[in-house]
Amino acid sequence: MGLESSMKVVSRLIYIFCLTLLIAGCATPEARLKQEAKYLGFDRRIVQGTDFKHVVYTNKAQGKGDELHVYLDGDGTPWINNRWISEDPTTRNSLLFRLMSLDTEPAVYLGRPCYHGFSDTPPCQPGLWTNERYSAVVIKTMAVALEQILKSLRTKRVVLIGYSGGGTLAMLLAGQVQNLQGIVTIAGNLDIEAWSSLHGYAPLIGSKNPAQRPPLNPALFQLHFAGGKDQNVPQV
């Protein structure tokens, strides 16, 4: 192969490489999550909540046990630079995907309403991923969606695993989940008023605060992880 031909091949490879990076950069957050889910061997489906649709990912351990681990993700990107409301709040960090890929028990990732590409689908509106992200509306539709999942899988025991704001939702959902055995939170925001005050944010008007709810059943297993150097949700 001559020098000129070699240069053409190299140029084409560079072009393909740059085009691939461009496509990856332009892909939506949900498209990137779908790609990673496929790589990890997860199955994706849509589950109806109340008036909202929820994206659900399941691992390959379905049917191998009576206990189901339900993963609830963080708040994602509700705001851009803490100033502008995001058009798509879907998480840009797939931490829970990586954790779920290590789980040997049957597990599902339950997406929030208006996330995963549904932000512009009625009745979605920005309040549901900003001030009302932990509202009764959000809790109810997630409880209904989870009930549909549990019926289809005939699960006997359930453990909620929430990361960051997903920990908030786990605590708020606890009273509405049948056969709940335990709750695990990772950097969970368990007092949203204290968190807002710490960062100087406006109160999340319309959201429920786990710290102000009645105590959960003492028989319920709870494990809450907090990072010693976490500046967003510090140890209480």
How does pLDDT run across 128-173, given as a tens digit for each residue? 999 999 999 999 999 999 999 999 988 889 999 999 999 999 999 9
How does pLDDT run across 68-101, given as a tens digit for each residue? 999 999 999 999 988 899 999 999 888 999 999 9
In degrees, rounded to 5, the angle at the alpha carbon of residue 234 between the alpha carbons of residues 228 and 236 is 100
DSSP characters over 41-68:
T-EEEEEE-SSSEEEEEE-TTTTS-SEE
pLDDT band at residue 231 using 50, 70 and 90 as cut-offs: confident
How does pLDDT run across 4-44, given as a tens digit for each residue? 554 544 454 444 344 344 434 558 899 999 999 999 999 99
In this prediction the pTM is 0.87
Give the whole-angstrom CA distance, residue 159 versus residue 183. 6
